[in-house]
């Protein structure tokens, strides 16, 4: 089974993915590391630009029929048996990214993406089985327990779990309004 764990930067993908793969006994795969190893990703500054179509092909070729947890904010764009989209209150995302030294522009882009469900919408466009999980105020263990419970129930789709429209005022200071 291929499980893709995706979400906006700062939601806890890597921590949750590693714990989930450990609990399931699955191989852990970082999208960034995999793309670099396969020559389909190129370092640009501190980020890695990845050919998403090539990523999808390589993941299918390498992991079809295997048990893996694929971690990365592009993992929802590969063909997976289930995509878990982690969500986190946009203000917490902003605070985490700020502490990581993100530029104001990158911070604003990611806060806006979380606010308006960008990853979730893309995941739904690409995959049949999408499970949305709100990580706000939960430990990694609680999040993994929730994911495992959803998988054990055979749930194929769970979306609409979060609605950040009420969070707009909380994150206004982090957004780039008026083309700043």
Residue 8 sits at φ, ψ, to 5 deg, of: -65, 145
pLDDT category at 178 given cuts 50, 70, 90 is: low
Whole-model pTM?
Answer: 0.94
12 marked ligand binding residue? yes
Annotated binding-site residue? 138: yes
The pLDDT confidence band at residue 180, using thresholds 50, 70 and 90, is: very low
DSSP 112: H
Contact at 8 Å (CB) between 75 and 55?
Answer: no
Q: What is the pLDDT of residues 44-85, one digit of tens each?
A: 877 889 999 999 999 999 999 999 999 999 999 998 999 999
Sheet strands side by side (includes 68-71): 27-30, 68-71, 2-6, 82-87, 130-134, 157-158
66 labelled ligand-binding: no
Q: Range with the lowest mean pLDDT among 94-98, 156-160, 168-172?
A: 168-172
Q: Do strands 82-87 and 41-44 pair parallel, antiparallel, or not at all (unpaired)? A: unpaired
Q: Is 14 annotated as a binding residue?
A: yes
Q: What's the CATH superfamily of 2-87+119-162?
A: P-loop containing nucleotide triphosphate hydrolases (3.40.50.300)
pLDDT at 179: 54
What is the DSSP code (8-state) at residue 26? P
pLDDT value for 6: 98
């Amino acid at each position: 089974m291929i499980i893709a764990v995706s979400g906006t930067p700062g939601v806890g993908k890597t921590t949750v993915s590693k714990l989930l793969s450990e609990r399931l006994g699955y191989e852990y795969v970082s999208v960034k590391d995999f793309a670099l190893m396969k020559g389909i990703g190129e370092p640009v500054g501190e980020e890695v630009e990845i050919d998403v179509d090539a990523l999808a092909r390589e993941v299918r070729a390498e992991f079809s029929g295997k048990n893996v947890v694929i971690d990365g904010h592009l993992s929802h764009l590969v063909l997976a048996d289930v995509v878990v989209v982690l969500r986190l209150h946009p203000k917490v995302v902003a605070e985490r990214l700020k502490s990581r030294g993100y530029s104001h522009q990158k911070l604003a882009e990611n806060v806006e993406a979380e606010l308006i469900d960008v990853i979730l919408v893309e995941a739904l466009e690409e995959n049949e089985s999408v499970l949305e999980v709100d990580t706000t105020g939960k430990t990694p263990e609680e999040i993994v327990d929730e994911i495992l419970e959803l998988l054990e129930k055979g749930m194929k789709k769970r979306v609409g779990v979060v609605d950040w429209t009420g969070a707009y005022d909380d994150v206004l200071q982090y957004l780039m309004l008026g083309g700043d």
